[in-house]
Homo-oligomer: A and B are copies of this chain.
Amino acid sequence: MNRYQLEMFIMVVDTKKISTAAKLLNISQPGLSSQIKTIESYYNAQLLARTKNGVEPTPAGQVFYRYAKKILSMYDVMEKEIDDLLGIQDQVVNIGATYTVGNYAIPCSIWTFKEKYPKVALQLEVSNTHDIINRLLSHKFHLAIVEGPVDIPEEADLTCKLAANDEIVFIAPPTKDWENTAMCSLADLVDVPLILPSPGSGVREVFDKSLLDAGMTVQDFRVVSQMSSIEAIKSAVEAGMGISLCTRMAVQKELRRNALWEIPVHLSIPVQFRIFYHNNGYLPAMAQRFIRFIAGPEELSLCEKK
């Protein structure tokens, strides 16, 4: 029985679905299923009753749920007490992040992390992938968080961890033209005015790569503009200049309040948020805590709500 299993079980009970819990935990659904089964056979008791659409805890499962939370909070309190002894609360952690990550994913995480360690100083700098990685390599950051593919020099001794999964969505202005758009393919969009993220941005890299897989290039589209700022892109789309694309996380709010509409495209383009840090370089304890907070299997953050 380990901490991560408690975390997993709690997530399943909270979401009432193994599948969505798996998504939030960034693991596969069968993987989570089998973990649940491991827990159940440990107590040889059924903890979850499989309902028509999902699962719900049995009485024994409810007991487990209650104690799992207690035990996890006990772990947290312990860690905090240890941290008090170590005197690491006011350490400075320098974080480099790319635009999407730095503007949309990280702020909430920093906020949450600060609730745990109010005195910690998290210095966040946002730039493009290339720049961020370079500055990590020259030890300007303790850690870097980027989206999309990254070129790391062979000789660099970096650790890489998955922080979160997101996907690229196509966004359109909330006008009649785009009302109730049917599920479409990339080919259906080639004639529509398209605003692209500038080359070098993570989203653009992912998009280019996925076009390549589909046997297409950006040349095939009617590109009306390229912009590097995500806010600029969103404004342009809202203003009706064309459609565009970005990570779901970046337009979560707009989609929710219908400031932008999502174009349902048949192709799913996943984007990985990854965290990098020096393998053997000295890491302040607090930086390590933050890494675990973001990317550790047993803590979930990057405040994504699905």
Contacts and interface: CB of A to CB of B under 8 A. Distances in A.
Interface of A: 1-3, 43-45, 59-60, 63-64, 67, 70-71, 74-75, 77-79, 81-82, 85-86, 283, 285, 288, 298
Contacts of A81: 63, 67
A178 to B, nearest CB: 49
Nearest to A79: B43
Contacts of A3: 1-2
Given A2-B2, A3-B2, A63 B43 contact: no
A1 B2 contact: yes
Given A43-B79, A43-B285, A71-B74, 6 more contacts: A45-B82, A59-B85, A60-B86, A63-B78, A63-B81, A63-B82
A20 B35 CA distance: 33
A293 to B, nearest CB: 13
A45 B285 contact: yes
A81 to B, nearest CB: 5
B82 A71 contact: no
B43 A82 contact: yes
Contacts of A79: 43
Contacts of A1: 2-3, 75, 298
Contacts of A74: 67, 70-71, 74
A80 to B, nearest CB: 10
Contacts of A77: 67
Contacts of A63: 78, 81-82, 85
Q: Which of A2, A81, A82, A285 has the most CB of B within 10 A?
A: A82
Contacts of A298: 1
Contacts of A45: 82, 85-86, 285
Contacts of A75: 1, 67, 71
A44 B285 contact: yes
A44 B286 CA distance: 9
16 contacts: A1-B298, A43-B79, A43-B82, A43-B285, A44-B285, A44-B288, A45-B86, A45-B285, A60-B82, A63-B78, A63-B82, A64-B82, A67-B81, A70-B74, A71-B74, A71-B78
A67 B84 CA distance: 15
A151 B298 CA distance: 44
Contacts of A285: 43-45
A253 B172 CA distance: 83
A64 B82 CA distance: 7
Contacts of A70: 74
Ranked nearest first, the 6 interchain pairs of A and B with the lowest CB-CB distance are: A2-B2, A67-B78, A1-B3, A60-B82, A60-B85, A63-B81
Contacts of A86: 45, 60
